[in-house]
Amino acid sequence: FEKILGRDIRLADEISKEHEKIAQKKNQVENTTNEIIKLSSYIQYKKKTIEQQAQEKKKINELLEAKRIDYERKVEELERISKEIEKHIQKLAAERAAKGIVIKGGTGKFIWPLQGRITSRYGYRRSPFSARRQFHTGVDIANSYGSPIKAADGGQVIFAGWWGGYGKAVIIDHGKGFSTVYGHMSRIYVQQDEQVSQGQVIGLVGSTGYSTGPHLHFEVRKNGETQDPLKWLM
């Protein structure tokens, strides 16, 4: 009887140990299952995040491409307008010459039309509207919005108004083939055919037309063609 009892006790003990092993295995399986569920959720989250980032990147690329196309258009228009101004000046000069009209000029020397910081010089530069090189036809002088702009020399106003990418602009003929252009103004204080004197306030600094901030775009032209203003300013 004792032998049978001892065998039963050992058997019960072995069964108990097996139950413990099964319970441990069950816990391991449950833990592994939970880890798989968590990992699957994380993978789904990352997948969704990557998809959202891809969509955002696509939108950004589309926006950048649209801006690039728009900027290229603006650069081309500014170049076209510069040629228009050249032809406008030459046309008026030819008409006056045919009629024997002589413009009452100024001193023959140009003063600074605006005190401020030069943000872009005459010549080739990287366009603020695109990545490509662009020939800048004047100098950009930055100053606060509403700062007074003065006539660089005396002469006759041959244009005062809106001119495309130049925004609100003024062109003054100083005689002897010289003229000056003032662009991106916020206010214009002179009218076409008006005679102005050197230093007279002709308008205020603005950011009209194709502009990235308040400044004066200033040009000096000889027979309609652009010159480096810094070579003429006193």
b/e for 189-214, b at 16 or more Cβ within 10 A? bbeeebebebebebbbbbebbbbeeb
pLDDT tens by residue, the chain, 234 residues: 555 555 666 676 777 777 788 888 888 888 888 888 898 888 989 999 999 999 999 998 888 888 778 877 887 888 888 999 999 999 998 998 888 888 888 888 999 999 999 999 999 877 665 566 788 999 999 999 999 999 999 999 999 999 999 999 999 999 999 999 999 999 999 999 999 999 999 999 999 999 989 999 999 999 999 999 999 998
Beta bridge partners of 83: none
Is pTM beyond 0.75? Reply is no
DSSP string for residues in 86-98: HHHHHHHHHHHHH
> What is the pLDDT, as a whole number, of residue 18?
77
> What is the pLDDT, as a whole number, of residue 167?
96
Q: How far apart are the first and last CA of the chain?
A: 128
> What is the pLDDT, as a whole number, of residue 100?
85
The residue ranges of every structural domain in the chain are 1-234
Q: CATH 1.10.1740.10: does it fit domain 1-234?
A: no
> What is the pLDDT, as a whole number, of residue 67?
78
The three-state secondary structure class of 199 is coil
> What is the pLDDT, as a whole number, of residue 194?
96
b/e for 125-152, b at 16 or more Cβ within 10 A? eebbbbeeebebbbbbbbbeeebbbbbb
Contact 225, 86 (CB under 8 A): yes
